[in-house]
Structure 1
Amino acid sequence: MTDIHPGQRVAVLADAQNLYHSAQSLYSRNVDYSSLLEKAVQDRTLVRAISYVIRADSPEEETFFEALQDIGFETKIKDIKTFGDGSKKADWDVGMSLDAVTLADHVDVVVLCTGDGDFARLCSHLRHEGVRVEVMAFESSTAEELVEATDTFLDLGGREDTFLL
């Protein structure tokens, strides 16, 4: 696999729920998405930056969605589903995976910002297709199989000053 170089075209896919819950449970802080995007792209060419978010009707979330857009993320929003038994569910695993596979023909690198082990198979597929896969997440809450499936893993927790607000 190739190393990082300036000519690479990059897609950044951020699982906002996963990052939010990890940052909150580990540090009681929020993710600095501006720093996240800057480090994900480095000196390469950004093709697309997509943040996958869940609308749960909390007062500050629209402000957060707008802030993501101001930083340069396209936001994909899914409403949380509440079931008859009161349980709630919303995740973007399939949507993120489909976007990554679709973008693979147009980029050299896919940067996944998530610690969700469900994406390990996606990483293997993308790498088989010749796409470099980089993962940025909090190592202590990242599935081992995801770390093993990537070309590069960056632990956001190792650089709290950079990646946390």
Structure 2
Amino acid sequence: MTEIHPGQRVAVLADSQNLYHSAHSVYSRNIDYSAMLDKAVQERELIRAIAYVIRADSPDEESFFEALRDIGFETKIKDIKTFGDGSKKADWDVGISLDAVTLADHIDTLVLCSGDGDFSRLCSHLRHEGVRIEVMSFESSTASELKREADAFLDMGEREETFLL
């Protein structure tokens, strides 16, 4: 796979739900999305940055979505679903995967900001298609199969002062 170079076209897909839970369960802190995007792009040509978020009707979430847009992320918002038994579900795995496959012909590198092992097959497929895969997440909550499928893995936990607020 190609190494990082200035003309490289990159897309950054951020699984905000996964990042939120990882940062809160391990560090009780929030993600610095601006620092994360800067590190993901690294002087390359940013084609698209998308943050996948869940609307749960919590206070301040609209200002969080606006802050993501101000940083440079396109936000894709999904409402949380509540089932008859009271259980709740909301995830973006299929949406992230479809966007990644759609972007593959337009990018050289995909930076996936998630530790979710469900994306390991997606990464394998994209690498087969010639896309460089970089994963940014927290080592302690990243699936080993996802790290194996990536060309590069950045442990955000090793640089708490950079990636956590």
TM-score, normalised via structure 1 length: 1.00
Q: Distance in 1 between matches of 2:58 and 2:163?
A: 23
Pairing 1:143–2:143 present: yes
Please, what is the CA RMSD of the aligned residues? 0.3
Q: Tell me, what secondary structure is at the counterpart of 2:106? A: coil
Deviations 1:129-149 (A, max 9, x none): 000000000010000000001
Q: 1:139 & 1:61 partners in 2: Cα distance?
A: 26
How many residues are treated as equivalent by the alignment? 165
Aligned equivalents of 1:59 and 1:30: distance in 2?
A: 15
- TM-score normalised per structure 2: 1.00
Alignment partner, residue 29 of structure 1: 29
1:115 maps to 115
Map residues 8-157 of structure 1 onto 2, 5 A cutoff.
8-157=8-157
SS at match of 1:115: coil
**Any idea what the Cα deviations from partners look like across 1:79-123, whole Å, max 9, x if unmatched?**
000000000000000000000000000000000000000000000
Where 1:66 maps in the other structure, the secondary structure is: helix
Letter in 2 for 1:11: A
Identity %: 81
Instruction: Tell me the alpha carbon deviations over residues 62-81 of structure 1, each in whole angstroms, 9 at most, x when there is no partner.
Output: 01000000000000000000
Alpha-carbon shift at residue 150 of structure 1 (Å): 0.4
Give, as a single letter, the amino acid of the residue that structure 1 aligns with 2:5: H
* Letter aligned with residue 40 of structure 1: A
Distance 1:38 1:126 in 2: 23
Match of 1:162 in 2: 162
Deviating above 6 A after TM superposition, structure 1's stretches of 4 or more consecutive aligned residues are none
Q: Partner letter of residue 41 of structure 2? A: V
* Cα distance in 2 between the residues matched to 1:95 and 1:120: 15
| Counterparts of 2:25 and 2:152, CA distance in 1 | 24
Give the secondary-structure state (helix, strand or coil) at the position aligned to 1:104: helix
AA paired with 1:129? E
- Cα distance in 2, alignment partners of residues 32 and 163 from structure 1: 5
Instruction: In structure 2, list runs of 5 or more residues that go unmatched.
Output: none
Q: What is the one-letter code of the residue matched to 2:31?
A: V
